[in-house]
Structure 1
Amino acid sequence: MTACAQPNCTGTIEDGYCDLCGHAASPPAAPPASVPASHPSYGSAPSSYGSAPSPYGSVPFSSPSAPGVSPSSPVTVPSGSRGSAPASGRGTLGTGGSRPGQLGSGLAEVPPVVYRDPMAVVLQDPQVPEEKRFCAKPDCGRPVGRSRNGRPGRAEGFCPHDGTRFSFTPKLREGDLVAGQYEVKGCLAHGGLGWIYLAADRNLDGRWVVLKGLLNTADAEALAVAEAERRFLTGVDHSNIVKIFNFVRHREPGAEAGRMAGYLVMEYVGGESLHDQLRRRLRESGNTEALPLRQAIPYALEILRALGYLHERGMLYCDLKPANVIQVGRELKLIDLGAVRMASDQDSPIYGTVGYQAPEIASSGPSVASDLYTVGRTLAVLSFPFSPVRGGAEAPLPGLGELPPAVRYESFHRFLLRATDPSPAARFASAEEMADQLLGILREVRAAEDGMPYPAPSALFGPERIPAGTAVAARGEGRILEPLRRAASAAALPVPLADPADPGTAFLSGLTARTPGELITMLGSAPHTPETLLALARLSAEQGGGETGGLLARAARELPGDWRVLWTRGVYALVAGDPVEAVRIFDRCYDLVPGECAARLALAFALECAGDAGPAAARYGSVWRTDRSYVSAAFGLARTLMAVGDTDGAMRVLDEVPHSSSHFVAAQLAVVAGSVRGRDPAALDAAALAGTGERLADLDGLDPRQRREMAAEVLESALDWLGSGAGSGTRAASGPSAGALLGTPFTERALRRELERLYRELARAAATTAERYALVDRANASRPRTML
């Protein structure tokens, strides 16, 4: 054991971290020389990353009276079915069987792990180090077999605290034949119920299998009951879960008369555990880097596939941690099914690992929510240097600002916080819901790392409707883009999808072409269902209707805990002119659906309306990088960048609006305006002005009046540049268009003639007499000087 180097700390280094203060070792701690090189597959090695001391890295909670599922409580988060689309979204969780070789969901290339020859990992000298020896009795777990007065500890004996017999020596030897079928080849690792062995199945041409202890007893009936209780594991058939082939009994050599041992027979998985991958990465980086997010998130997605499969069949895994997950090739498998139990089981001891186990386990028992909690903790441990245990208790997650820059994604941090919320009711409701949000975060991460979007349809929201804030401001307003209008932002937000099981959903789908007023009238007389009520509340909120509050109160009663009611409250606050309240509400929605672009867009709208340009820009940027179909995000990011003085950055964003977008022309027009409006004439040059003119000339479908107005603005900027003296000499003739701007020679006289012509054409089409007079005055002021 290595002592912690922190001042005044008496802890020891465990897997690179102190088990008392939680600080990383410096330099990184290597595995103790006395620890045998165990195979990572079948049951935790004698310790697990960051776990408290126990027989196999797990702490049993013996609570026969604890229910198999968490007690019911008011739902405060979405149920997973409400507001969700059919399984055709951006990559829904297929729990019926994981796709072999699809680790990464097509979004990330995860390095494969080479299959390991089982004979190469058999231990040559199987021993359990003294510091890993603990009493196996669930309510004891204290150290046994330790050295005293310079004498080595006993590998076999009795616990001095409660008299429980212990033995850390292998009971099976090479060549032993178990159940007349399985030929033992050696030890792989030591788990909570003894040694784990490699064997060859003689009945199936020597197929490699693993034998893991189930129960030692002299009571044949008790052994039969234990086997029957675990027999359900043989029905588990999922490519992400190790296969249990059989349960067998064997009288161990030298055992007392009638004493039998039970063994699980399971497949051999010759890969590498995530625990070992993580430790290697921490050692190589000096404890500064864990696994990359593009690798850790796909691991979590595959784990969720496996857990979703178990949950659908009424089973709970209970003891997820990196040591219990193995990668081989490009596939992932959950191993060590010793803690798996039926959700209805209220009597069996509960096993878990400190640092990963949900806080309510001891009082309420395991549940789907507690399983998902372990996924969140496991993902945190895999993604950044983080010891899950500090001072013998669970360590809190670090704040967003404390995360390493490579993983400092707000969406990812919010995901971890929801997944590990102390309240089971506040966590994700299902593995499928959790995976869907995590997949959205993976798209965001890949987009940020690769500099290219990764769009996909949402399972919770429809598409952006009409982009908001795309209008170019008039020349005299002192800005490039019109300010965001609250009603327009609400109308642009994607609509949460209706529950397909609601009888009113089919009726609603036929109303999308109506005007808001017509829709409100029709919904008022439509058959009442929760979905028609929620749709009516949303439409009323978008119109700022005074009856919205009452409708939302009714919707909250009929859809308790549905996040879409909260979302609609945010829309109403935004339209009603309370952006601070809208920020609060949409921030909470972002907590609940952290993988959704729509949630970030709504928060960005609210923040911009509240005057917080910087935070709004961060959310707009996240959406725009991930999915270019959210054109409102591009214009919002441009507006907020200009608000903080980054006009060039805003122009680069608008230039990214794709040509296929119906708002490409608006974006390009804004770029033209931003290239000349508010610029210091001396900072311009002929090449930039000529390029701006070419950009304007190439815009097809631009309204003739807008084209003339923008052309006049470009020509005036060119005249200002010439008048500043910056365009004197050879510089004026060095443009790429042979000294021409918008087809006009780049001279003061020619530019003035063209500018005069444009103003007179605009004057002829003016809507009011005052506007016409003003344009005529501009034309007269622009005409070149003559002797007449």
Structure 2
Amino acid sequence: MNDKCQEPDCTGTYAADGFCDECGAQRSAAPAVLSASTQPATSSSRASQRTGTSSSRSTGRRTARGGLGAGMVDVPPVPLRDPASAVMAHPEVPEKRRFCGRCESPVGRSRDGKPGRTEGFCPSCRTPFSFEPRLKGGDRVGGRYEVLGCLAHGGLGWIYLARDTNVSDTVADRWVVLKGLIDTGDPDAALAAIAERRFLVSVSHPNIVTIHDLVEHPDPKTGVPVSYIVMEYIGGRSLRDVALDHRRAAGGPLPLPQVLAYALEVLPALGYLHGRDLIYCDFKPDNVIQAEEQLKLIDLGGVRRADDQESAIYGTPGYKAPEIGVEAPDVSTDLYTVGRSMAVLSFDFSGFTSTYEYSLPPVSAVPLFAQEESYHRLLRRTTHSDPARRFGSAADLVDQVTGVLREVLSAADGQARAALSTYFTPERRTFGTDDPSDGDASGVPIDLGAGALLPSPEPASLLAALPLPLPDPGDPSTPLLAALVGAEPADVVRALGDQDLPGISAKLALALARTEAGDPATARAELDALDPLEWRVPYYRGLIALAARDIAAAVREFDAVYDAVPGEPAVRLALGVAVELAGDAGAAARRYERVWRVDRSFVSAAFGLARARVALGQRTLALSTLDEVPENSSHRVAAQLAAVRIELSGGDTVAAGRRLAAVRLDPYNRARWQVALLQSTLDKKPRADREVRVALEKAYREFAAQVQDRPARIELVDRANAVRPRTWV
């Protein structure tokens, strides 16, 4: 049989389990395999790939059906599997996956036409190796666990399925997983097993496999006791297999919302470990099992304490962070593996273990990146080569994944999914929504000449309009700011300017107040002295740049914030208006549209999107956007008057008149707009028929009746007389 992978452009080969060792695709007509397929196992500097299995039994806060999908995504459930069907008929480790556990040299390889040995000594360092199962069907381990057979071979040894014989015959069998060592003489594997004994029994989380017991069983050849970990068995499928099944059925990767829902389900489990000063080390799709509608994090063999500087480090090529092997794993390296896993599941990531082992493909190679900019930025930060630029905690990543998920779903179906942000205030004031004629009581008619639309907002006005980052509740200066809410900028400067302020929140508020008080130079200097990796700093620098009309700088600063918190609509709004002012209507439209789709409280985004679409020649789309401003919105009238201007700029006076008739206006503005509409009609058709002139004359006179200024009233009457149709009498 040909072992070369049949997928296009793939140079990998099929392993004994039927899956390609490069792209992960399954050989057609492959036999049934264990749900959590394994990869080559190595240790320390050559990272290992390990697999375990765990149980379908729900624990903790979940019901049997679980809560997968974050209440927003309908994730297809994975049916439970008969445990006996997962047992391997002929357990063996392919030769190309046999490596010395100490020096990583190939062992057990064929030579001179003879098959490689499954047991022996490494020719390089003389460390003993064995790839033979230590247990066989019928063995009873720990006096109570009856072995059925092998499930898989992982980085720390063979994994077995067993039945707990201590469970009463009157209830269903309790299936468990026994996990031993690759070789009892391998010191790294032994240390890892000891580490599991030390703290993993106390790990208890509904999305983490439960460890029931620790038992010993004599090695059948040496009689030396071998330790086994007894874990719950999960009868579902690994996310890797779920993805492969979907690829075979649908011809492509998993839908992005499903991938994001998976991340939201497993990140709290990692956060739980991090809260106990534990690092998982080897997160990947193989190590997460979906059973029905619940996920379980399995294979805890690589888990280590955060301050552990001695134990072997386990990770998987293509998933592990680039600093692993030089620096110890930490929270940032765990989150890195989550980002890599999302990438592998969500698009065709060919070469993720080679060409792009520590990077992402360019946008030009991944259509999903061009379509979902926020997701691309999420992956870029999560998998940044600099650990200091990654997310600081699983909770931080959950917040941004949730925001990106809301955006992706709303863009797909048009349903708003607004949620209060824990990062930003709401929009403090709408911008770009006021009609240029609004509030004019001088009696001067509105000029609706060609192309006369709502102008872009004044940059300086955005300082008081755009959302602001919320103060950090843990910042010692936050209580001080609460006492200054509503204070004038000068008063804030006096209150904060001469203090040695603790934390960063008060320093940011002071910079904003200085700018509003007319001292942006001092504000910029104070911001430049703060931590540049704190995302709120470039946001405030962007606000100050807008106030100074330095639009290019504002774009740079807000773009940097978008990289840091890609799930926040407030940042896309700020970047949208900055690129609009820079003259890039296309980029502005993309940002405004994503804000408006997910949260209809950002009315400024609707007007900005309409302006950008008009600039792009998309008048129909601009009109539909303005029509989406709700009837009960205080900006509904402004939106419809903007639509009237757009209709007239396109020459459709009939549609403009129909829209104007439906707008609720006071008598003064009703008459003023009627004059403007009819005058525009006459200007476009100087030889307009008698009815237009008669209507315009009447409108001028009605408008004059609403004007208090006598000279203006006389001027309007003169205009009425000028447009009166000529008569012979």
TM-score of the pair, normalised by structure 1: 0.82
Distance 1:226 1:648, change over 3 A: closer
What is aligned with 1:743?
Answer: none
Residue 326 of structure 2 aligns to a residue whose secondary structure is helix
CA contact (8 A) 2:433 2:639 kept: yes
Does 1:275 find its partner at 2:234? no
Once residues 714 and 636 of structure 1 are traced to their aligned partners in structure 2, the CA distance between those partners, rounded to angstroms, is 24
Does 1:661 find its partner at 2:633? yes
1:682-721 aligned at under 5 Å gives the runs 689=654, 692-700=656-664, 702-716=665-679
What is aligned with 1:678?
Answer: 649
CA contact (8 A) 1:158 1:166 kept: yes
Once residues 158 and 671 of structure 2 are traced to their aligned partners in structure 1, the CA distance between those partners, rounded to angstroms, is 84
Distance 1:111 1:11, change over 3 A: closer
Q: Which residue, 540, 545, 553 being the options, matches 2:518? A: 545
Distance 1:231 1:8, change over 3 A: closer
CA deviations 1:152-194 (Å, max 9, x no partner) are 3333233333333222222211111101111111111111232
What is aligned with 1:633?
Answer: 605
Does 1:230 find its partner at 2:171? no
What is aligned with 2:558?
Answer: 586
CA contact (8 A) 1:216 1:260 kept: no
Does 1:209 find its partner at 2:196? no
Q: Deviation at 1:104?
A: 1.6
Q: Deviation at 1:318?
A: 0.2
Once residues 281 and 8 of structure 1 are traced to their aligned partners in structure 2, the CA distance between those partners, rounded to angstroms, is 20
Higher mean C-alpha deviation, range 100-109 or range 586-595: 100-109
Q: Deviation at 1:521?
A: 5.2
Does 1:193 find its partner at 2:161? no
Distance 1:573 1:436, change over 3 A: same
How many corresponding residue pairs? 699
Distance 1:600 1:776, change over 3 A: same
Once residues 227 and 320 of structure 1 are traced to their aligned partners in structure 2, the CA distance between those partners, rounded to angstroms, is 20
Residue 563 of structure 2 aligns to a residue whose secondary structure is helix
Letter of the 1:508 counterpart: L
Q: Deviation at 1:764?
A: 5.0
1:6-45 aligned at under 5 Å gives the runs 12=13, 30=27, 37-41=32-36, 45=37
Once residues 344 and 373 of structure 1 are traced to their aligned partners in structure 2, the CA distance between those partners, rounded to angstroms, is 19
1:136-155 aligned at under 5 Å gives the runs 136-137=101-102, 139-140=103-104, 142-155=105-118
Does 1:618 find its partner at 2:582? no
Letter of the 2:422 counterpart: A
1:742-753 aligned at under 5 Å gives the runs 748-753=689-694
1:301-700 aligned at under 5 Å gives the runs 301-387=264-350, 389-391=352-354, 394=357, 396-405=359-368, 408-473=371-436, 474-476=446-448, 478-516=451-489, 519-520=492-493, 528-529=501-502, 530-541=504-515, 543=516, 545-546=518-519, 548-555=520-527, 557=529, 561-675=533-647, 677-680=648-651, 689=654, 692-700=656-664
CA contact (8 A) 1:55 1:136 kept: yes
Once residues 621 and 219 of structure 1 are traced to their aligned partners in structure 2, the CA distance between those partners, rounded to angstroms, is 57
Letter of the 1:344 counterpart: D
Once residues 610 and 146 of structure 2 are traced to their aligned partners in structure 1, the CA distance between those partners, rounded to angstroms, is 69
What is aligned with 2:53?
Answer: none
What is aligned with 2:75?
Answer: 110
CA contact (8 A) 1:216 1:262 kept: no
Higher mean C-alpha deviation, range 231-240 or range 465-474: 465-474
CA deviations 1:700-728 (Å, max 9, x no partner) are 3x343332222223334566788778xxx
What is aligned with 1:744?
Answer: none
Does 1:59 find its partner at 2:46? yes
Once residues 634 and 222 of structure 2 are traced to their aligned partners in structure 1, the CA distance between those partners, rounded to angstroms, is 83
CA contact (8 A) 2:152 2:159 kept: yes
Letter of the 1:608 counterpart: E
Residue 199 of structure 1 aligns to a residue whose secondary structure is strand
Once residues 539 and 501 of structure 1 are traced to their aligned partners in structure 2, the CA distance between those partners, rounded to angstroms, is 22
CA deviations 1:710-751 (Å, max 9, x no partner) are 2223334566788778xxxxxxxxxxxxxxxxxxxxxx5554
Q: Deviation at 1:518?
A: 5.3
CA contact (8 A) 1:647 1:674 kept: yes
CA contact (8 A) 2:147 2:160 kept: yes
Which 5+ residue runs of structure 1 have no aligned equivalent?
48-52, 62-95, 726-747
What is aligned with 1:101?
Answer: 66
CA contact (8 A) 1:493 1:602 kept: yes
Distance 1:181 1:16, change over 3 A: closer
Distance 1:607 1:752, change over 3 A: same
Percentage of pairs with the same residue = 49
Distance 1:445 1:196, change over 3 A: same
CA deviations 1:280-313 (Å, max 9, x no partner) are 2333455xx2110010001111121111110011
CA deviations 1:518-576 (Å, max 9, x no partner) are 555555588944433321211333x3722x33244335546664221221111011110
Once residues 356 and 126 of structure 2 are traced to their aligned partners in structure 1, the CA distance between those partners, rounded to angstroms, is 27
What is aligned with 2:3?
Answer: 2
What is aligned with 2:56?
Answer: none
1:60-139 aligned at under 5 Å gives the runs 60=47, 101-137=66-102, 139=103
Once residues 452 and 705 of structure 2 are traced to their aligned partners in structure 1, the CA distance between those partners, rounded to angstroms, is 26
Once residues 31 and 233 of structure 1 are traced to their aligned partners in structure 2, the CA distance between those partners, rounded to angstroms, is 39
What is aligned with 2:208?
Answer: 241
Q: Deviation at 1:699?
A: 2.8
Distance 1:721 1:8, change over 3 A: closer
Q: Deviation at 1:38?
A: 3.8
What is aligned with 1:738?
Answer: none
CA contact (8 A) 1:272 1:327 kept: yes
Q: Deviation at 1:406?
A: 8.4
Q: Deviation at 1:621?
A: 1.1
Higher mean C-alpha deviation, range 456-465 or range 203-212: 203-212
Distance 1:393 1:403, change over 3 A: closer
CA deviations 1:43-82 (Å, max 9, x no partner) are xx342xxxxx435999349xxxxxxxxxxxxxxxxxxxxx
Distance 1:108 1:29, change over 3 A: closer
After superposition, the CA RMSD in angstroms is: 3.3
Residue 261 of structure 1 aligns to a residue whose secondary structure is strand
TM-score of the pair, normalised by structure 2: 0.88
Q: Which residue, 174, 180, 193 being the options, matches 2:143? A: 180
Once residues 605 and 634 of structure 1 are traced to their aligned partners in structure 2, the CA distance between those partners, rounded to angstroms, is 12
CA contact (8 A) 1:461 1:494 kept: yes
Once residues 73 and 466 of structure 2 are traced to their aligned partners in structure 1, the CA distance between those partners, rounded to angstroms, is 29
Once residues 219 and 720 of structure 1 are traced to their aligned partners in structure 2, the CA distance between those partners, rounded to angstroms, is 91
CA contact (8 A) 2:43 2:314 kept: no
CA contact (8 A) 1:384 1:407 kept: no
CA contact (8 A) 1:128 1:168 kept: yes
Once residues 219 and 119 of structure 2 are traced to their aligned partners in structure 1, the CA distance between those partners, rounded to angstroms, is 15
Letter of the 1:402 counterpart: A
CA deviations 1:7-65 (Å, max 9, x no partner) are 9997546799987xx7x69xx651796xx744234xxx342xxxxx435999349xxxx
CA contact (8 A) 1:418 1:427 kept: yes
CA contact (8 A) 1:388 1:394 kept: yes
Higher mean C-alpha deviation, range 200-209 or range 715-724: 715-724
CA deviations 1:99-128 (Å, max 9, x no partner) are 872212111111111011111211222222
